[in-house]
Amino acid sequence: MAVAQQPAELPSAPSATLQQQQQKDAAAQAAANPAPQQSSSPALPLPAIPKDAPSAPAPKPPTPQNDAKADTPSDDQAITKIVVGVNEVNVIFTVTDKRNRFVKDLSQPDFKFVDDGKPVASIRDFRKETNLPLRVGLLIDSSNSIRDRFKFEQESAIEFLNQIIRPKFDKAFVIGFDTTAEVTQDFTDDTDLLGKGVRMLRPGGGTAMYDAIYYACRDKLLKENGNTAMRKAMILLSDGEDNQSRVTREEAVEMAQRAEVIIYAISTNTSGLKLRGDKVLERFAEATGGRAFFPFKISDVANAFSEIQDELRSQYAVSYVPADFKKDGHYRAIEIAADNKKYKVRARKGYYAPKN
């Protein structure tokens, strides 16, 4: 039986840091100029989030049942490995036509790549739907606001992981969140363990969605950055409402961009109307090059997972060197356009340059 991790403190985001600093300044001023009947208040605790999970058990050898769940790269199949240079930028993107069908047969000359307002200096690598390793974070809202279809959404998420995670190649983790985030299964390629992690979740409590996204990106997916390119995606099931987070929405967006994560959001709103939370989900998806889905009928939930699965198999990957690149920590916008104006390119909006 899987054991969920106990929560720990969320290290400060900028907004939380500012709040703590203001409290410290107030305390220092009070100490310098003591006034009777006045005392400084202690700093408020930051939101609880999980510690790093213990390492997952070693993956089981592939069995006939596992082979049926996902396609494992064979010995004859070339596994894509892009070695990333110091100043190279990697972008995963998707192309669709006017009917929203995936376009998979384009080549590098069919695109224009612009970084921070200037054409890129050089293209180091370009691939159609690559065989890049996949890292997936499944974040499920387990607050009181999403009870209606919870069981069906759990089973749809498990089926998605069974189909998309290839043994010994891809990995995923599971986080449930209400007032706090809880890692019920850390990174693994074992879909049985992932399924148990999803089934452990029980609805109840408030909603700290921004904290959960911030943590999953910074402490899980950002740590997957290395010398080899990979695809990183987050599947977010929520109504988009947040009433408990200590980090802001934009701080969570920024952390997702730093971690180079594509967010696919599936709304759990069952009202039939587009509510404020749905617009929040759209913001996360648009900023990271993902999509937001609004399945009003219960059967549409499984369809949303199926569309995400199709998209993950219909992507392009480009690695380029920016012109006039500076390691100054500034945000740099990315623009990718197809020469054929009938095609729409969806990619993350930008990234933060490393800082010396």
Q: Quick check: is 63 in a domain? A: no
Do 112 and 172 share a domain, yes or no?
no
pLDDT recorded at residue 218: 96
Q: Is residue 37 part of a domain?
A: no
Q: Is residue 185 part of a domain?
A: yes
Closest CA relative to residue 139, chosen from 164, 155, 157, 151: 157
Alpha-carbon torsion, ordered 245, 254, 318, 94, to 10 deg: 50
Q: Which range, 17-21, 269-273, 305-309, has the best average confidence (pLDDT)?
A: 305-309
Tally of structural domains, the chain: 2
Q: List pLDDT tens digits, range 137-194.
A: 999 999 876 666 788 899 999 999 999 999 999 999 999 999 999 999 999 999 999 9
Domain, as residue range, for 140: 132-312
Residues 223 and 345 in one domain: no
Residue 81 pLDDT grade (very low, low, confident, very high; cuts 50, 70, 90): very low
Check whether residue 122 and residue 143 sit in a common domain.
no
Same domain, 233 and 275: yes
111 occurs within a structural domain = yes
The answer on 144 and 201 residing in a single domain is yes
What 3-state DSSP class applies to 319? strand
Residue 59 in any domain: the answer is: no
Task: Decide if 218 is inside a domain.
Answer: yes
Per residue in 102-118, pLDDT tens?
999 999 999 999 999 99
Instruction: Answer whether residue 305 is part of any domain.
Output: yes
Judge if 125 and 138 occupy the same domain: no
Same domain, 163 and 102: no
The reply to whether 192 falls in a domain is yes
Contact 157, 169 (CB under 8 A): no
Over its C-alpha atoms, the chain yields an Rg (Å, rounded) of 22
Which residue has 């998420």 as its token pair?
157
Q: Are residues 192 and 108 in the same domain?
A: no
Looking at the fold, whether 324 and 339 belong to one and the same domain comes out as yes
Detail the DSSP E strand segments found in the chain: 7-9, 48-50, 89-96, 111-115, 118-119, 122-127, 134-141, 171-177, 181-188, 231-238, 262-267, 292-293, 315-321, 331-338, 344-346, 350-352
**Residue 24 pLDDT:** 53
The gap from C-alpha 195 to its chain's centroid, in whole angstroms, comes to 19
Same domain for 262 and 248: yes
CATH of the domain at 180: 3.40.50.410
For the record, the structure tokens of 87 come out as: 């100043």
What is the rounded CA–CA span in Å between residue 253 and residue 257?
Answer: 6
Q: Tell me the DSSP string of 60-103.
A: PPP-HHHHHHS-PPPTTSPPP-PBPPTT-EEEEEEEE-TT--B-
pTM listed for this prediction: 0.78
Residues 284 and 235 in one domain: yes
Residues 148 and 290 placed together within one structural domain of the fold = yes
Q: How many CB atoms lie within 10 A of CB 323?
A: 14
